[in-house]
Structure 1
Amino acid sequence: MTEVRRERADAARNRRAILAATERLLAEHPPEQVSMERIAAAAGVGKGTVFHRFGSRAGLMRELMLERAHALRESVTDGPPPLGPGAPPGQRLLAFLDAVVDVVGRNKGLLAALGQAAAAPRDPQKDSREQHSVYGFWHGHISALIAEERPDLDAELLAHILLGALQNKPIVHLLGQGEAQRLAVSLRLLVTGMLEA
């Protein structure tokens, strides 16, 4: 029993180390320079451990993005206001968009790596679950806050438009130049104008 616990603890520690090393390397280097071998060395594990845990480079990138998105989801559902419950919907919407830009901005290398991995063969069922768990939650949260603040607006479509801006190539390039704050300010202006119109 102790042996099993130690193995589980080791596996959890290795997972955390691999994800942290991946994020650090993507922040410091272009995605094409971040190989599985380099990630393994930075995490202090064997390359086989990385492949065993994540299956492929694309799987590792998706797992990292999902982990960051999950942390944001916890802040939205259980954290303090204005990101968490308790603030007016307009304030929560602005705080959420700020948080999304922060996640995307800190993980710009990750987004680029995910874009490169898009051409690889993928599992449509798994991708659908992943998309639902990230995009679906973000879209649902944004559209609910818009609808609560301005029931007269097409909240569902507006949420797609706001999130679509983050997947736009010029915006991704802007984030790659370290201009997340500029994007956050512009999104705030758009949303404030939309809610007050």
Structure 2
Amino acid sequence: MRGHRSLPVVGQPQPERADAARNRQKIIEVAARMIAERGADELSLDEVARVAGVGVGTVYRRFGDRSGLVYALIDERERQFQSAFLTGPPPLGPGAAATERITAFLHALVDRIVAQQALFVLLEKGGKGNVYGGGPYRVHHIHLATLLAQACPHADAAYLADALLAPVNACLIAFQREERGMTIGEIKSGLAALVAAVTGA
């Protein structure tokens, strides 16, 4: 029908205007390049706007603050990670025993954080890292609590999920690697021992 416009679907994000989508992509590309060249601590929204050729107000309206922009930079990898543990091959994905999947999940989460460690450290130091009850943490917690309920039917799965996620944060991992000289393998080995102690495996 001529002039027909589709109605919005409840619960679905509204499509971006083409110019807004172009600006968003430009801003993300500029921010990613700046972080690669200078590190996450030097990221300035005012400078990102200038280099991207957009108004400062556009950047702030779109992303809110520096943490919002950093979240956008890690968002694609987070989607890939969630797809892997929800529908990918075992032991990270379905098909393995619950305890084995818990260990695989925590190990994969370590890799996930290390791959973008500077960005995660920036988020955590900004007070917007693991926002309990929202963002990726909520998805990770639900997934882990579901597996823990299978592995430990009589335990408080929600609490144990928080307890197992607590040591898997960028600031602690950075400290363990830089100050204590621990390898990624040693960190993962410690998490595996923690899972075994919690689940009685």
TM over 0.5: yes
Of the two, which has the highest radius of gyration? 2
Is 1:89 matched up with 2:93? no
Q: Is the 8 A contact 1:40 1:50 kept in 2?
A: yes
Per the alignment, residue 160 of structure 1 pairs with 162
Q: How does 1:39-54 map to 2 (within 5 A)?
A: 39=48, 45-48=52-55, 50-51=59-60, 53-54=62-63
Q: Of residues 125, 134, 148 in structure 2, which corresponds to 1:132?
A: 134
Unmatched runs of 5 consecutive residues or more in structure 1: 120-126
Shift in Å at residue 196 of structure 1?
3.4
Q: How does 1:44-193 map to 2 (within 5 A)?
A: 45-48=52-55, 50-51=59-60, 53-118=62-127, 131-167=133-169, 169-174=171-176, 179-193=183-197
Q: CA RMSD in A?
A: 3.6
Shift in Å at residue 54 of structure 1?
2.1
Shift in Å at residue 175 of structure 1?
5.2
What does the per-residue CA deviation read over 1:80-125, in whole Å, with 9 as the maximum and x for residues that have no partner? 2222222221221122111211111112111221134338xxxxxx
Q: Is the 8 A contact 1:78 1:85 kept in 2?
A: yes
Shift in Å at residue 131 of structure 1?
4.3
Number of residue-to-residue matches in the alignment:
183
SS at match of 1:165: coil
**Bigger share in helix:** 1
Give the AA of the match of 1:79: G
Shift in Å at residue 32 of structure 1?
2.1
CA–CA distance in 1 between the matches of 2:20 and 2:94? 34
CA–CA distance in 2 between the matches of 1:174 and 1:23? 26
Give the AA of the match of 1:117: G
Q: Which moved more, 1:65-74 or 1:177-186?
A: 177-186
Unmatched runs of 5 consecutive residues or more in structure 2: 1-14
Alpha-carbon distance change, 87 to 59 in structure 1, aligned in 2, over 3 angstroms? same
Higher relative contact order (CA 8 A, sep 6+): 1
CA–CA distance in 1 between the matches of 2:32 and 2:176? 19
SS at match of 1:103: helix
Per the alignment, residue 124 of structure 1 pairs with none
Alpha-carbon distance change, 85 to 19 in structure 1, aligned in 2, over 3 angstroms? farther
Scaled by the length of structure 1, the TM-score of the pair is 0.70
